[in-house]
């Protein structure tokens, strides 16, 4: 597609539920990143993929968070047993290759609210 | 964790004035980038400056980089109301393959 697409744009869920957030990167971009942004803060790195593999998942806060990118394109961020502290905007970004130290292209984000 | 710290946290100016935002970081970098974020939207890349560059221009934007002080500044000249947004610096250390963002400066340009 023309840009990075994220769905849903908004998700409201109850504490303890399971959530999936989807990211469709720019076509041909091999590097895909997930960030989390709390209100009034900058984006915090969660995980990045080079192709199908998670090259760096050091930013995932705990084992309730998991992400996949099975075919090297679309990625899904999965959050189990959601907690109120998980409420944030989850941003996805892509770039041509991780070795290309150029700009990231961001999606509009998925706003998650855990009640 | 956040590598960069922007200063000021918030800035309010009149249309036509210049806006200057500063960013300090902690580790060595490959490049430093500035992004803009309108309320409720994603981040948009503005400009990238490499570690061996000291100054770069793009339209009304001017970025400086001082690697000895581990700091950068973003200057927006002749500001417009449409420049109202949050501005973030982000460092690319090369080896980490990810960008590390600062906490941002909220710029308000009053018409």
* pLDDT tens, residue by residue, B9-34: 999 999 999 999 999 999 889 899 99
pLDDT digits (tens, 9 = 90+) for B32-86: 999 999 998 999 999 999 999 999 999 999 999 999 999 999 999 999 999 999 9
Contacts with A98 from chain B: Cβ below 8 Å: 97
B48–A99 CB contact, under 8 Å? no
Identify which of A56, A98, A103 has the shortest CB distance to residue B45. Answer: A103
Distance, CA of B67 to CA of B73 (rounded, Å):
12
Pairing relationship of beta strands B105-110 and B10-14 according to DSSP bridges: parallel
DSSP E strands in B1-104: the ranges are 5-7, 10-14, 19-24, 31-37, 43-50, 55-58, 61-66, 71-76, 85-92, 99-101
User: What chain B residue is nearest to A59 in terms of C-alpha separation?
Assistant: B1
Q: Tell me the shortest Cα–Cα distance from A41 to chain B, in angstroms.
A: 5
**Count of CB atoms situated within 10 Å of the CB of A102:** 13
| d(CA B78, nearest CA chain A) in Å | 25
Joined tokens for residue B70: 């581990």
Q: How far apart are CA A28 and CA A42, in angstroms?
A: 27
pLDDT digits (tens, 9 = 90+) for A80-115: 999 999 999 999 999 987 556 688 999 999 999 999
């Amino acid at each position: 597609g023309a840009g990075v697409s994220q769905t849903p744009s908004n998700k409201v869920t109850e504490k303890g539920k399971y959530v999936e957030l989807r990211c469709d990167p720019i076509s041909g971009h091999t590097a895909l990143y997930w960030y989390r942004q709390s209100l009034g803060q900058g984006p915090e790195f969660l995980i990045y993929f080079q192709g199908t593999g998670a090259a760096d998942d050091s930013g995932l806060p705990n084992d309730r968070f998991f992400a996949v990118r099975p075919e090297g394109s679309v990625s899904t961020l999965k959050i189990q047993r959601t907690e109120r502290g998980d409420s944030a905007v989850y941003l996805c970004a892509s770039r041509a290759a991780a070795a290309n130290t150029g700009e990231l292209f961001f999606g509009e984000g998925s706003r998650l609210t855990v009640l | 964790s956040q590598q960069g710290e922007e200063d000021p946290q918030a800035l309010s100016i009149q249309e036509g004035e210049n806006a200057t935002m500063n960013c300090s970081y902690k580790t060595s970098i490959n490049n430093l980038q500035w992004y803009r974020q309108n309320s409720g939207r994603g981040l948009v890349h503005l400009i990238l400056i490499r570690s061996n560059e000291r100054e770069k221009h793009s339209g009304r934007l001017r970025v400086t980089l001082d690697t000895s002080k581990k700091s950068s500044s973003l200057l927006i000249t002749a500001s417009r109301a449409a420049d109202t947004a949050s501005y973030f610096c982000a460092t690319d250390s090369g080896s980490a393959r990810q960008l590390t963002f600062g906490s941002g400066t909220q710029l308000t340009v009053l018409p």
